[in-house]
Amino acid sequence: MRPTPLVFKVITVAAFIFLYLPIITLIVMSFNGGRNPYVMEGVSLQWYRELVTDGELIAALEQTLIVATVSSLIAVVVGTALAVGLARTTRSRSLEIVSVVPAVIPDVVQGIGLAAMFTLLAVPLGLTTVIAGHTVFATAFVVSAVRARLATSDPSLEEASRDLGAGTFTTYLRITTPIMAPAIVAGGLLAFTLSLDEYVIASFTSGSTSATLPILVYSRVRFNLTPEINALGTLLIVVSLVALVIGARWIGRRGKVSA
């Protein structure tokens, strides 16, 4: 094999510096002793202390966790069923497209569309409407993950189960579901993480009392910046890392069992 051009190696190293420089800056600045979020003045844990006693922030975190949990749970149930239905009971291309529209449509369009509809139907904006907005794209992601898994699995396993006398639902429960398990977990985790992070749709569908964490972070970054945001950012990075490691290990183990 030919050697890789030197320019490519240089660009790659530069790209990784580009990817990690802001994150490292943020982590270092979170231990700032001073009040200025841009200038390091001594080392302290004061902003972490501030963080755990910040009532507004803790309330926003609670809202975010509720939204992410409820929307990804609904998405896992409804999305898995939809994916099985699409893969095994119909050949309709248009139903397939309808099921993944929310994953490809720009978030600003989805958010405005929902806001316009809720206004038209006089649905009060609040936690429920945010959950509704997140459930849609979460379901689309679960559908794509599970569809991809089903496309590569062998349908004759299910046929064998039915030939041996198991009913349709028994077969889905006993055969199809275990096959899909890694994809369901991956899709669900993806939906959960995306929801934790989601700002645009939430900003259009939340009322004044249902600020999620991204909404609060956004307003703080724009109007009331303190190093506390650096500390919060660092904690969120640690949480995402832990979730990623757990998820990857779990999927890796499941993948080995079913292979």
Partner 1 sequence: MPAQKAHWQSRSRRRARAGLLGPGLLLMAVLSIAPLVLVIAYAFMTRGRFGGVVPGFSLDSWARVLEPIYLGVLWNSIVVATITTLLALAIGFPVAFVISRLPPQWRMVALVAVVLPFWTNFLIRTYAWVVLLNDVGPMNKGLAELGVISEPLGLLYSEPAVIIGLLYSYLPLMILPIYASLSSSEREIAEAASDLGARPWRVFRDVYIPLSVPGIILGGIFVFVPSIGNFVIPDLMGGGKSVLLGNVIRDQYLTARDWPFGSVLILVMLAILVALFAAQAVASRRLTGKLTR
User: Of 245, 229, 204, whose CA–CA distance to 36 is shortest?
Assistant: 229
Site stretch for partner 1 (CB under 8 A), options 65-73, 153-161, 180-188, 214-222: 214-222
Q: Which region among 3-11, 48-56, 150-158, 179-187 touches partner 1 (by CB under 8 A)?
A: 3-11
CB–CB of 72/196 below 8 Å? no
Which listed range, 41-49, 50-58, 107-115, 153-161, lies at the site for partner 1 (CB under 8 A)? 107-115
- Given the complex with partner 1, which of 39 and 58 has the nearer CB atom? 39
Taking CB under 8 A as the criterion, the residue among 125, 183, 202, 232 binding partner 1 is 232
User: Looking at beta carbons, which pairs linking 211-219 to residues 24 or more positions away fall under 8 Å?
Assistant: 211/59, 211/60, 211/63, 212/60, 212/63, 212/64, 212/67, 212/130, 213/57, 213/60, 213/61, 213/63, 213/64, 214/64, 215/60, 216/56, 216/57, 216/60
User: What is the rounded distance in angstroms from the CA atom of residue 138 to the CA atom of residue 159?
Assistant: 30
Per-residue x/- track, 125-144, partner 1 (CB under 8 A): -------xx-xx--xx--x-
Per CB under 8 A, which of residues 144..203 are in contact with partner 1? Answer: 167-169, 172, 193, 196-197, 199-200
Of residues 12-71, which lie at the interface with partner 1 (CB under 8 A)? 12, 14-16, 18-23, 25-26, 29, 36-40
| CA 24/CA 10 separation, integer angstroms | 21
Residue 137: count of CB within 10 angstroms of its CB? 24
CB of 52 to partner 1, least distance (A): 18
Q: Which stretch, 43-51, 53-61, 177-185, 236-244, contacts partner 1 (CB under 8 A)?
A: 236-244
81 binds partner 1 (CB under 8 A): yes
Beta carbon nearer to partner 1, 191 or 229: 229
Residues 178, 184: Cα–Cα separation, whole Å? 10
Cα separation, 183 vs 177, whole angstroms: 10
Q: Which of 61, 65, 78, 148 binds partner 1 (CB under 8 A)?
A: 78
